Amino acid sequence: MDINKLSSKIIGAAIEVHKALGPGLLESAYEECLCYELSLQCLSQET
């Protein structure tokens, strides 16, 4: 996967998380949900 496609998937996942949760939560909540969203898209991550 090229860097542009990967970047697009990551940014898309972050946007989906923000749309679902909205503003005002702790960073840890967004981080946990972003990790879950990335796993749904078969992207691994390190925390």
| pLDDT tens by residue, 10-22 | 999 999 999 999 9
pLDDT at 32 exceeding the cut of 90: yes
CA distance 44 to 10: 11
Taking the model in full, what pTM does it have?
Answer: 0.82
pLDDT reported for residue 5: 93
Q: Domain limits of the chain?
A: 3-40
- Residues whose CB is less than 8 angstroms from the CB of residue 23 and which lie 6 or more positions away in sequence, other chains included: none
